[in-house]
Amino acid sequence: MATIDQGIAAAKPVQAEDRFMLDRLAQDGAGLIARAVDWCGVNTGSRNLEGLATQADLLVDVLKTLPGEVARTPLSDTLEIAADGAERRQVNGEALLLTVRSHAPIQVILTGHYDTVFPADTTFRQVVTRADGALNGPGVADMKGGISVMLGALGAFERHALAHAVGYRVLLSPDEETGSIASAPLLAQIGRLGHVGMTYEPAMDDGGLAGARKGSGNFHVVVRGRAAHAGRDFDKGRNAVVAALAIGQALAALNGQRPGVTVNLAKIDGGGALNIVPDLAVLRFNARFPDAAAQSWLEAAVDEALAAGRGEGLSVERHGGVTRPAKPLNLAQARLLDAVRETGAMLGQSIGWKASGGVCEGNNLFAVGLPNVDTLGVRGGDIHSEAEFARPESFVERAQLSALLLARLARGEIDGPALRAAMT
């Protein structure tokens, strides 16, 4: 993880016009926490449309306290491959888009997601305080806490004398935990309009950021064979499960062939009665890769691996693919992270970063040329589990960090247009 070489003593002083904004956030800290805790009481699993609609109403109430226009955008249905190999349409929730000062000289894109990984029937439904003071609850870090921080920072920044110099778009989506398939076009659309992106995935427990991120793809392979009686007509059958296993072995063999590329075989559906040669299998896997060249290699290697399951009486269909390109640490990203580190030092926060194999909306924004920091949310950990936690003191810390970043962008101390230009 990168660290500050000279320590907090070398930090630039906070300007007087910024101090009022930061002090206001310190006073509002309890409210930022309480709001997130209330939101965590609403189950917003990505498939819980009723819960997502309830949460969307709550978020719109807060978005409307900011200037600008709020749009509620129904997302298109997405296709999923069921265990029987058939395509099923999946209905998604609404995306919420706030647009403020679209003609200001500096444009910032802020994104977050209000869905969680916890299904509607989960018993993990409320926030409690652990013995060490951390908050434990569904989405408290990922990322209802982050959304509260984001909106708190924007509310404080609106009282700044230079707020007129910065315009912004806030996109809150309901499908990030399932890959942002439906919201991807909106992410691309607004990403092209900004100079800098700010996304509110949780920071590391020590306040660290994600630097480079791998790309990711989700694949679903449908193998069809020929059913037959396993005793009387075994030779007439074409075993789809065996073919799927052959594909799986070929895919697993890709691990270790190229640095940073991994293939995770996650699930196989198929088969039935033991006296029937199975005629259907569905193989599902995820792949990660560090850059565009590795993505090209992977996609070609996957197609080659699928050939292991083909043969007379056997067919193989590939569905899905790369959903988020890689986000390498290029010049623009390095400069932006340095600016965040310097801003943190002004607040007494030591901020570093390290590469991550995880993916998020920051990958989508990077793919359309927007430099972005995607772990500006609360400090926490154990996300996607019932041990998920957030540090309550980090709500003010991270809201102040975002607000000061916006103020420094407004003053030109962080040159947003130059950062965007460095992406080309």
Average pLDDT over residues 17-22: 95
Average pLDDT over residues 182-211: 97
**CATH, range 215-324:** 3.30.70.360
Residue ranges of the alpha helices (H) in 180-310?
Answer: 184-191, 240-252, 292-306
Question: Torsion over CA of 56, 198, 365 and 193, rounded to 10 degrees?
Answer: 90
CATH class of 8-212+328-421: alpha beta
Tokens 């018993």 correspond to: 123
Contacts of residue 191, Cβ cutoff 8 Å, sequence gap at least 6: 109, 197, 364, 365, 367, 368, 369, 370
Three-state SS at 243: helix
For residues 341 and 405, what is the distance between their CA atoms, to the nearest angstrom? 10
Residue ranges of the alpha helices (H) in 28-92?
Answer: 29-40, 49-63
Average pLDDT over residues 323-339: 97
Contacts of residue 386, Cβ cutoff 8 Å, sequence gap at least 6: 124, 138
pLDDT tens digits, residue range 139-150? Answer: 999 999 999 999
pTM, whole model, 2 decimals? 0.94
pLDDT tens digits, residue range 47-90? Answer: 999 999 999 999 999 999 999 999 999 999 999 999 999 999 99
pLDDT above 90 covers a percentage of the chain that reads 97
Beta bridge pairs of residue 135: 129, 390
Q: Parse the chain into domains and list their residue ranges.
A: 8-212+328-421, 215-324
Mean pLDDT (the chain, rounded): 96
